[in-house]
């Protein structure tokens, strides 16, 4: 069950904008939001900073995230918000450590960045049925 959902490009033109909309809608504090991405080429470096499920609609070779320049196509923060001590008053803080990315093609245009197309800052990321090019 997903308490919030955003469809790209219907509700947000970019995937990062949709992730921010999930946060603004209150899809944090342990609740995973659903981000549905319609077929297309999205020229951006996606920054997963919220617990969410990003799902590409249709064939994965038609839902493409293409990194601009020297950037990674997908960056997962996973900054360990779940491990923040409760005495700091930040219980329930999430920063993407339970995020899932499914059914997308992640592409780096710059040949020298191909080994860093997906970059994990910290933690883990669930990457399901994705192509990394």
The segment with the largest mean pLDDT, out of 9-13, 27-31, 72-76, 107-111, is 9-13
Gap between the Cα atoms of 131 and 107, Å rounded = 8
N- to C-terminal Cα separation, the chain: 31
**Burial readout 23-44 (b: 16 or more C-beta within 10 A, e: otherwise):** beeebbeebbbbbbbeeeebeb
Q: Which two tokens stand for residue 108?
A: 């780096």
pLDDT interval class at 41 (50, 70, 90): very high
Q: What are phi and psi of 51, to 5 degrees?
A: -70, 115
Question: How many Å apart are CA 41 and CA 49, to the nearest integer?
Answer: 21
Q: Which of the four pLDDT bands, split at 50, 70 and 90, describes residue 4?
A: confident
What's the confidence (pLDDT) of residue 113? 66
Section 47-72 average pLDDT: 92
- Strands 5-8 and 52-56 come out as unpaired
């Amino acid at each position: 069950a997903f308490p919030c959902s955003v469809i790209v490009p219907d509700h947000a033109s970019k995937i990062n904008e949709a992730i921010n909309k999930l946060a603004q809608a209150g899809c944090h504090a342990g609740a995973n939001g659903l981000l549905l991405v319609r077929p297309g080429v999205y020229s951006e470096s996606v920054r997963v900073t919220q617990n969410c499920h990003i799902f590409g609609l249709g064939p994965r070779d038609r839902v493409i995230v293409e990194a601009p320049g020297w950037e990674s196509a997908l960056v997962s923060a996973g900054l360990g918000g779940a491990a923040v001590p409760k005495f700091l008053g930040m219980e329930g803080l999430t920063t993407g450590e339970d995020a899932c990315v499914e059914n997308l093609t992640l592409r780096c245009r710059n040949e020298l960045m191909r080994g860093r197309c997906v970059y994990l800052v910290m933690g883990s990321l669930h990457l399901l049925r994705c192509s990394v090019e």
